[in-house]
Amino acid sequence: MADGDPVDLPAPPDAQNRPRIGVDEWVGQVEDRREHGPRVRLVNAWNELHLAAKLAIFVGPAAFLPFVVSSDYWMQVAVITALYAVLAVGLNVAVGFAGLLDLGYVAFFGFGAYAYTWLASEHFDLHWDATYAIPTVVVASAALGFIVGLPSRRLVGDYLAIVTLFFLFIFNTLLLNADRINIPFKEGSINFTRGPNGISTVDPMSFFGLELRTLDHYFWLSLVTFAVVVGALYLLNESRTGRAWRALREDPLAAELMSMPVNRLKLLAFSIGAAAAGLTGSIFAAQNGSVFPVDFDLTLLISLYAFVILGGAGSILGVAIGAVTINVALELLRTPENASFVFYFLLLVAIVAILRRRAAAVLAGIVVLGFLLRLAAEGVKPSWTTGEDRGLTWVDRLVEDWVLLPTDIARIDDVAYIGLIAAVLALLQLRGFVRLAALVPVLYLAVFVWQNVLVIQPSVARYIMLGAMLVALMAARPQGLFGTPRVEIV
Amino acid sequence: MTPAILELRGLTKAFGGLTCVNALDLEVREREIVSIIGPNGAGKTTVFNVITGIFRPDGGDILLDGASIVGLEPHEITNRGVARTFQTLRLFLNMTVKENVMAAAYGHTKAGVLRSVLRTPGARREEREINRLAEERLSFFGQRLMGYRWNQPAYSLSYANRRRLEIARATATNPRILLLDEPAAGMNPSETHEITELIGQLREEGGYTILVIEHDMHVVEGISDRVVALDHGVKIAEGSFEAVATDEQVVEAYLGRREATTK
Amino acid sequence: MDWTTFIQLTVNGLTLGSVYALIALGYSMVYGILKLLNFAHGEVFMVGAFIGWGVLNLLGGAVDPRVPVWLLITLMTAAAMLGAGLLGVVIERFAYRPLRNAPRIAPLISALGVSFFLQNSVLILYGANFKTYDTFTLVDPFSGIQLGGVNVWIIRIVVFVSAIAMMLGLFALVRYSRLGKAMRATSFDREAASMMGIDVDKVIVKTFFIGSALAGAAGVLVGLVFGQINHFMGFNYGLKGFTAAVIGGIGSIPGAMFGGLFIGLAEAYSAGYISSVFQDLIVFSLLVVVLLVRPSGLFGRATIQKV
């Protein structure tokens, strides 16, 4: 009979993948299909740790940041990063745990921020203590999440995504225009949101009279919030509710028929995610001292999804890491002072990580090519080497002495840019040695385009890179860095 | 006479112009094993879909332990005691074997969000219970789904084991009646033999009442107390296996008229 | 009843609506065939507008064009259609095709990434300022026909007529040609279509090309009517076109056409009779309402899942 003697437990597949009597081939080769290598071992070791240990490792060192970082600007970045990490983990509840496409999530964040503002600012002259304001905002956000989730009863998948996305747009439009709402029976109009100007008189948070005044305070508050929210969501995910969400993500119909109230679970996912977003929104408003509609737009949504997808939807750790790395990278890329460092660092890391031993040869080739082109240009068309300085750092100085630097870049910048895109796409079609050889001029062109076109406006260039990264990531590894490859029935 | 656990009275379901189930009367008594047979397109799976609440019937009534379950949400019907497996397997592929079974215990457990997060003693006790329940249900299938298999993702299971897991998952809802939709589909002779024995064991040792849709006549013969034959949504025969298998209308439905007359 | 206002608004609505319909068609065709929401489509529209602008400048600009005006406009549109079509094909090849069997969220994220990429690329290359088509110089703003006391500018007529013509052409293509039959078959059941000898990849490529070309044409038409383009227009028009496609029933070609005109008129009337501030809000709310009442859109076909 197939599959072993009823008395003994079947032997687990050992490391030697060979056909064995009583074990079918597919099962016998399970070891082959498991990923090995240091990353997987690290992830497995991490998974064994107790929740408290994980939180300690993640949050502990971060708590010392205020003592290490002296600039206000970077402290602000740290606070925002921590808050975005909480947001990403909250989004992960609906998207990663329950498999629902909530494209309107940022609206809950914005709602939380504005709701807190209404309760604790000069706008309506209410100055609630945070101990009352925050729970109110959280409950209100959860209720809003519930309402937005109601369409999920009739709409699935793409249509749900569409409706939630449009909720975000409606929300944004309201923020921009709700400064003149006419209510019947009242004279004049009510100014809810002060339109594009936002509200800039938000009170600092105070708990029982103790006021949070400095960025450091807000940073620690954000860290505590992160620990509490992540801890709670982790525990929830490892419970009966989390199992039901995962079942719902796998196959909603089968889940419903296996006693799980799918509609209720969807609403729960929406509400909890919204509550987390609302909480984060209130802290955001308080530490900023102001709220503007532009903080809650599609760009943030795409960034949040980038965090979640990069980290691997469903994995809390992955999402948190994704949030921190991408947000910090985006911040670094914002100004010319740092942009080139990040760009060349990322480029080198990518080259070495992908090519490994051949990286040296390729890099050498690029450097040589650069010098040759420079020499040729100086002889034939000197205007191609006399362009003015574009970058601001010593790295830029160094590179600009080596790469071609046309004076009149405006005439060919679009040609070079499109050429680079075409070259990269063509490169994907090549194989083997030809690909390696072609990599040299293409990478040179990339440096050329960066140094001549992109570095001038790094705040825009970073979004170009984010977009490209998302596309590449989806093609190469749709489950993200920390996700497990999922088996789907198409 | 033992009371009927499941009773279908004049059940009718139509999709547009096509009547898939036509005034069907059916009864399944406690600890009975009833098989539904019929050619493809006879409406058998539609009957299951209507019973479990996926579709609302256009006419007639469905009674579980005497109470009507028409109009209830599918998960409520499952909580009342109707569990099923699927013709095309619908496991939670990316969840582990054990989690698949544990998930189905949702309906008769109650740890809510707050209690789960705070890990109250009650919640922890319930979690241990669910764990134990899952292991017990899986042990019904011998050693195939035991031990290291508990933590393997469901997609790593062989086809026959996936079918077994689906049955184990259904039993985890503590059902009054099990609806098995073609449990032997795609199995080789020895696996078919096993499943036949298994269904018998489900009734003998597990005390389950079972309604089965099946094409393989060996299985039907081996398990059924009673057989019901459907064709184009209409019941054309009911009785013991021998009676139904030789019934002229049944033979005609499967093989066509000439074969029937040469019998 | 103020007829002149009504006629003016209707003219505006139809002009805008026909453009929305062109964009909506791209969304519907791609969704019908791949079940994919191509969020990058709006940016393809925007790139088409920029290509038209580029050709305009190449041929001397609005002030001193080197060719007759109507030839100029035709060349701009043709170039935009070709360029946008090719862009659509490239996007399909590199951003969507590798993800045919990936979880549903993957192509969605990829689409958002492409959208981001295109929008910011145009921004960095051409700046944030509006670029002008300078149509008033190109075509006399007072030339046109009289309709019930309202002077309808000839450009609006040209835009409306061209858009309708393209849509009718597409309708005929889908209804009567072999390619159309292949497209319909592929959208019903991709696997079965490939087993019937249809080269599914080629059909998908052609679908993307046609849909993107229509969007590119829409880009030039919008530039002509409103005289100005900028890198952000893809977002707004893409959104409206998307709304139109969904309201009409995404996957349905007549639905997209109807949806586009419907949205265009709704927007015009809202702006004229209620408030231009809330016109967007009204349009978006219309979408939510329609979807809640008819989850698969007005002309859409509900997909039946076999259990």
Instruction: List CB contacts (< 8 A) between A470 and chain C.
Output: 109-110, 112-113, 116
Q: Which residue has the higher pLDDT, B18 or A16?
A: B18
pLDDT at B42 over 80: no
What value does the mean pLDDT take over residues B81-109? 94
* Residue B263 pLDDT: 46
Cα B176 to Cα A127: distance, rounded to the nearest angstrom: 58
- Say how many C-beta atoms besides its own lie within 10 A of residue A261's C-beta: 21
Instruction: List CB contacts (< 8 A) between C307 and chain B.
Output: 45, 49, 54, 86
What value does the mean pLDDT take over residues A292-309? 87
Cβ atoms of C157 and C144 closer than 8 Å: yes
Q: Which of C267, C251, C247 is nearest to C259 (CA)?
A: C247
What value does the mean pLDDT take over residues A332-337? 83
Cα A348 to Cα A125: distance, rounded to the nearest angstrom: 54
pLDDT at A40 over 80: no
How much is the CA Rg of chain A, to the nearest whole Å? 27
Structure tokens at A170: 């409606």
Q: Please tell me the distance in Å from A257's CA to the nearest CA on chain B.
A: 5
ipTM: 0.92
Q: Which long-range contacts (CB under 8 A, 24 or more apart) does A66-72 make?
A: A66/A215, A66/A216, A66/A219, A66/A220, A72/A215
Q: In the structure, what pLDDT confidence band is assigned to residue A1 with cuts at 50, 70 and 90?
A: very low
Interface mutation target, options A102, A160, A164, A173, chain C, most CBs of C under 10 Å? A173
Helix (H, G, I), strand (E, B) or coil at A170: helix
* Residue A57 pLDDT: 85
Q: Please tell me the distance in Å from C307's CA to the nearest CA on chain B.
A: 8
The verdict on a CB contact (< 8 Å) between A467 and C116 is: yes
Cα A363 to Cα A367: distance, rounded to the nearest angstrom: 6
The verdict on a CB contact (< 8 Å) between B146 and A8 is: no
For residue range A250-294, list pLDDT tens digits in order. 999 999 999 999 999 999 999 999 999 999 999 999 988 888 888
The verdict on a CB contact (< 8 Å) between B156 and A2 is: no
Structural domains in chain C, CATH included, are: 3-293 (1.10.3470)
Architecture of the CATH domain B4-81+175-261: 3-Layer(aba) Sandwich (3.40)
- DSSP letters for B165-182: HHHHHHHTT--SEEEEES
The verdict on a CB contact (< 8 Å) between C291 and A155 is: yes
Instruction: List CB contacts (< 8 A) between B96 and chain A.
Output: none
Structural domains in chain A, CATH included, are: 50-332 (1.10.3470), 340-456 (no CATH)
Mean of pLDDT over chain B: 90
Cβ atoms of B91 and A254 closer than 8 Å: yes
Q: What is the share, in percent, of chain C residues with pLDDT greater than 70?
A: 97
* Residue A14 pLDDT: 55
Cβ atoms of C240 and C289 closer than 8 Å: no
* Residue A489 pLDDT: 62
Domain assignments of chain B as residue spans, ordered by start: 4-81+175-261
Instruction: List CB contacts (< 8 A) between B86 and chain C.
Output: 307
Cβ atoms of B72 and B250 closer than 8 Å: no
Tell me the one-letter amino acid at A96. Answer: G
pLDDT at A9 over 80: no
For residue range C14-28, list pLDDT tens digits in order. 999 999 999 999 999
Q: Which of A198, A224, A334 is nearest to A279 (CA)?
A: A224
Which chain B residue lies closest to A251 (C-alpha atoms)? B92
What value does the mean pLDDT take over residues A125-131? 83
Mean of pLDDT over chain A: 83
Question: Please, which chains are in contact with B (at least 3 CB pairs closer than 8 A)?
Answer: A, C
CB distance from C58 to chain A under 8 Å? no
Instruction: List CB contacts (< 8 A) between C32 and chain A.
Output: none
